[in-house]
Structure 1
């Protein structure tokens, strides 16, 4: 999708990296001109609707399709009896897939809401009506509903996630001050405004898919493996995404069903997942439980941290939520022990939801630190500063940059923390109890290779071309700024083309890794294009610079000139005209220089070359400190967040306006996590009972207070080519414990299981 609409960008300073440029695709979105995946017009379109299981565990004995097939407009009903001819795909890391069949409509039922049949008809209404007529007979088996099910057990220990140094058990016993508590978080769901779905179309052996995608190249590779095709035979088109939060990074079973149906019918098929089906067609954040033990000296120096965590997973895949992810790196401690378990239950496999792992981990350790502060009769801010980690005690490596101390001190000053009366129930606002709390957060820097193409056209416009995506975080805008700055052309002259797996390869938009990787590729390509322009200008026969003897040219505002007052000038259209060229095209990537073209192409569809935060000489992370104020009605037990001040260290900000939007979005989701969100499961049959946006509560405008965000970061050139660190994930991490700690300060009641609802306070 090319963004070429006329637009106003503000001052010229806004058009470079670090400027506060408004998002360049914003006008398309607010006027309805942006086309989303399920809106593409396609001739001969048929519609598919899913039929889902109503039991948690068992086996499909029979699917009666007679009534559905006789309904008006019905073209096909797919059931577990149908061999769709699919094979298992490889994992995210690109490991070769097993030579096994893949059944997106399985006979074995593993959770309530699993897709087991699909009806295809001329219209969506006809398909939906016929789907209600499909009758399924089950051989039901006992299931495990959730973590609280007596049949769930303790789960499986994940040895690779165990972390230990020193002697935590002995140090805890010897510590003069000790606290121990259990913390729990429920199932949470993505609830993106745009539901999932796709349109699949075959052209001979070429598969074209319009689907919201956080990773066009990876999804194309997985679809190709399902259908035993070369990756280049699958094209994912996804220029705009209406929210993902981690749920749109890979193809899912319904996608395989739609594509298989389209192949069988010989015509395009669209499958729009209903809102309730969005709760079971893919996994949200797993429910977690943690036990944390802290030992400290009377003056507040941590002596030991012992962490034991577990999360629910599906019965068919071990997916850790990594409840110990943040615990080892937030504070200085010489004795540490952490273990993680997964507990199989009959649910869809959990997925990545904003701040995966670090989010529930921070809830545990940050609530525990607050409890320790009260046990010590110490200011919670002082306790955190006193145990500031000068390096990464888990890896033993120095931080690349870590401005968490600055986040705590500057956030506290902006919040007015020094005015806090430490005693619970001591602060009031009219008839409401007032509470203040702190929560720190972190998220790792994940580095991934990417590729970009710069095209300079005969009319002087510049195109930035990449298969990366923009789901609202601002990729279109920051790439325009990056190219504008590196090339020396006005940002109004730059168009950005994204969201297609046929375009140059890019990292997944997840784990806060896309911006740092793709801006590096665009910057590299733009500098190479600049050098190419200058070289051509110095060597072209019709160029006014050819015989000047100059070895330096500058490009500013799209014009080439020498660094002297009497210099001739030439704009880009004039240069290309003098060369007889209709365009100049430069392509660069951030992969190792000696990598073969074949290996380069493979790199975009898997994560084998992704590097974690400690794979180099430094430990690289983003950091934040949240300060929350809550008002609690002591008569009714209702809680409202009345004020938030949050300070972040995310390195250099490519566009502060967009970064602040990302931070606020994360904070808003954290408010929902703390006070509203909870997947409620029927213990009798494992059914998600509130699978809709009426009963599964998410924050609305009325729930959100004034949110002040502060940047304390400094450029970190170890983390990325332009010095930025991730901003999208870290915003939610630490928000829920800040609110929980504020609620305790207001009421004197410690709620250790989210969400904090009135029945837990009254």
Structure 2
């Protein structure tokens, strides 16, 4: 048969069955390796034309004029778009639940708020023609003073954000009375998502129906934004994203380039493809904001924490506030009776910051876990023992018990596998020739979130089954896990399961973010699969002439695509025969995980905004994943270079639906953490805020040559307070704490503290 990349079957299992919890290769892996997976830029529609973005070359000011005379004279040019030549769109709902803007939305700027902001677009028959014409636009600016980053003299202290404040106990009083005190400042730079697949949009209008091909972590949320921009009913927008070449948080929301492509397609009456270049991705959307935090840790002589005081700031855009919330890990990692946290947002001339793997939790853990290592040396207590001393028996912020917390197990198992008991306490006590060797430890956490969703299961007349959902798979394994869930619940072989994802016409799913998508979709697919199987059994019991007539439903079993009963062992009938014999073409069941009394409006808000994303409904328990990283580094004494040469990480993520995929996610997070610690930093020109290193040649990320042996250990157990199927967050937890473990290991190797990322060779040699 003809196989489409977005709905192809998942492949053969070795024995025709699949059980949740087994390791299985990613179902779409072969398609991606063979180049058959269809990404947004791969869609070629008839009569497609091409748009390119033109970005501001000043950091702040006004666009006075754009002379397009020369550009319009070039062959193939169809349209020049500027803020003056396009009609603004309607405002869209804030996707995170804030108040809706009232002013019209124009994706092309007159007032420039950062270097690289979109100010024009050129549409032509070919991309090359559009690119040439774009260089011919004569742009006149009025420049204003620039605040390049929060280190700039004109940056100021920022805006206090009260919603981020946390207080319990008497933190200042306890710190003043503490026997041991630590006070240090820790900094992280701007970091960028740089997914392998850059952003792209193919927009096509057919009458008042808008179809968008775009990489998306949230097709329903993005479709809602497009619908509101263009004043369309939600059902008139179809957003298609079967494959996503990485996102890490940057492909969640509809963005200006998407609006520009759709506006151009409507104006010209032809499909428009707009591909954001690699250099443009550094300002077409925001990555992790730069942060600083000052931590005061007070403890008694036994190492027991008595107080944590945290003050800090993160950069934000000039026209809107977003926090990289620095107390996300600090407030829950270790037991402390007195806590105080305040954070400011500092407006600078930058694109609005976005989410990057483990937002908030990552820089939060960097500061806390470095400070804990400093406390260990101030008290002369082994860093592992210090953490055991401060183990939190309940959530220190809320007082709630943990749904599960295997931190002690993570520390014990990780230490055993790493050989931590052989670590000398003194810095600079391990070497191999000119290399100083250091061993570092840090821990991390990530909260569980849950949003209602829906899914459809179809059992077809040939005995195969389909799983339908608008949930997406950005390489994390959603296709595979949902096939496993359905095969297990339906009793149908994995090679007879088709999974269709990433299309807004399918049953609704929320954002693939906060590491929630696998657990919430596994739960709803299991629920729908059980209901579909019950309907199949009902047909088997009631069909005229059925061999199972008169038996109880609970005596029938569906296994390996056949229906049988212990009460009639001589009968075992293929599913397809039961359906065909009764003239049943299809069994279709849709289920959701909404409360039974939820309104249609609340359903819509839940899957198109993040307002429905809450802690799991678990009866007063706090639900988190946990991890402990043990890392060995080698520091070249002559050149100051740092090489991570061994990683052992133990993680508590509850039940693992597919251990192979979970390990892949853990390794990916650890690798990103290595890059964060040693390589990654967005550098800006202080004169105009321009991102200087806006390429993968200059913005350095970890490559194979940087990656050592990585061992991951699961210490989790099924946690049914966390999710219906017992899983907890997997995708983001493993980056949390990696940079701190590396920094601590470098101190152990060199005797020098490094409190700013990435670690600097010059400081190591100093």
Question: Matches of 1:369 and 1:296 in 2, distance apart?
Answer: 10
Deviation at 1:97, TM superposition (A): 2.8
Give 1:537's match in structure 2, choosing from 513, 537, 540.
540
In structure 2, the partner of 1:611 is 614
Q: Does 1:584 align with 2:608?
A: no
Q: Secondary structure at the match of 2:668?
A: helix
Q: Does 1:702 align with 2:705?
A: yes
Deviation at 1:607, TM superposition (A): 2.0
Q: Aligned-residue CA RMSD in angstroms?
A: 1.3
> Once the two structures are superposed, what CA deviation does each residue of 1:18-44 show, in whole Å capped at 9, x if it has no partner?
010111111111111111011012011
Mapping 1:583-602, distance limit 5 Å? 583-597=586-600, 599-602=602-605
Instruction: Decide whether aligned partners of structure 1 residues 610 and 549 sit closer, same or farther in structure 2, where only a CA change above 3 A counts.
Output: closer
In structure 2, the partner of 1:235 is 238
Deviation at 1:563, TM superposition (A): 1.7
Q: Secondary structure at the match of 2:191?
A: coil
Give 1:215's match in structure 2, choosing from 209, 214, 218.
218
In structure 2, the partner of 1:78 is 81
- The size of the alignment, in residue pairs, is 761
Q: Does 1:8 align with 2:12?
A: yes
- Asked if structure 2 preserves the Cα contact closer than 8 Å seen for 1:313 and 1:344, the reply is yes
Question: Matches of 1:636 and 1:189 in 2, distance apart?
Answer: 27
In structure 1, the partner of 2:21 is 18
- Asked if structure 2 preserves the Cα contact closer than 8 Å seen for 1:294 and 1:304, the reply is yes
Question: Matches of 1:549 and 1:315 in 2, distance apart?
Answer: 67
TM-score for both structures, normalised by structure 2: 0.98
- Asked if structure 1 preserves the Cα contact closer than 8 Å seen for 2:60 and 2:115, the reply is yes
- Asked if structure 1 preserves the Cα contact closer than 8 Å seen for 2:448 and 2:623, the reply is yes
> Once the two structures are superposed, what CA deviation does each residue of 1:614-634 show, in whole Å capped at 9, x if it has no partner?
985111111100011001000
Mapping 1:333-732, distance limit 5 Å? 333-548=336-551, 552-564=555-567, 566-597=569-600, 599-612=602-615, 616-732=619-735
- Asked if structure 2 preserves the Cα contact closer than 8 Å seen for 1:326 and 1:358, the reply is yes
- Asked if structure 2 preserves the Cα contact closer than 8 Å seen for 1:507 and 1:517, the reply is no
Question: Matches of 2:364 and 2:97 in 1, distance apart?
Answer: 28
Question: Matches of 1:364 and 1:566 in 2, distance apart?
Answer: 64
Deviation at 1:431, TM superposition (A): 2.1
Deviation at 1:600, TM superposition (A): 2.9
Deviation at 1:226, TM superposition (A): 0.8
Question: Matches of 2:697 and 2:196 in 1, distance apart?
Answer: 13
Instruction: Decide whether aligned partners of structure 1 residues 154 and 538 sit closer, same or farther in structure 2, where only a CA change above 3 A counts.
Output: same
Mapping 1:204-283, distance limit 5 Å? 204-283=207-286
Question: Matches of 2:397 and 2:534 in 1, distance apart?
Answer: 44
In structure 2, the partner of 1:175 is 178
Listed as ranges, the gaps of 5+ residues in structure 2 are none
Listed as ranges, the gaps of 5+ residues in structure 1 are none
Deviation at 1:333, TM superposition (A): 0.7
Deviation at 1:340, TM superposition (A): 1.2
Instruction: Decide whether aligned partners of structure 1 residues 170 and 41 sit closer, same or farther in structure 2, where only a CA change above 3 A counts.
Output: same
Give 1:307's match in structure 2, choosing from 302, 305, 310.
310
In structure 1, the partner of 2:330 is 327
In structure 2, the partner of 1:129 is 132
Instruction: Decide whether aligned partners of structure 1 residues 598 and 160 sit closer, same or farther in structure 2, where only a CA change above 3 A counts.
Output: closer
Question: Matches of 1:551 and 1:159 in 2, distance apart?
Answer: 56
Question: Matches of 1:11 and 1:683 in 2, distance apart?
Answer: 62
Question: Matches of 1:440 and 1:92 in 2, distance apart?
Answer: 32
Deviation at 1:596, TM superposition (A): 3.8
Instruction: Decide whether aligned partners of structure 1 residues 263 and 616 sit closer, same or farther in structure 2, where only a CA change above 3 A counts.
Output: farther
- Asked if structure 2 preserves the Cα contact closer than 8 Å seen for 1:240 and 1:469, the reply is yes
Question: Matches of 1:581 and 1:301 in 2, distance apart?
Answer: 67
Question: Matches of 1:175 and 1:694 in 2, distance apart?
Answer: 48
In structure 1, the partner of 2:197 is 194
Give 1:758's match in structure 2, choosing from 746, 761, 766.
761
Q: Does 1:108 align with 2:141?
A: no
Deviation at 1:546, TM superposition (A): 1.6
Deviation at 1:758, TM superposition (A): 1.1
> Once the two structures are superposed, what CA deviation does each residue of 1:175-195 show, in whole Å capped at 9, x if it has no partner?
111111010000000010000
Deviation at 1:246, TM superposition (A): 0.2
Question: Matches of 1:544 and 1:602 in 2, distance apart?
Answer: 47
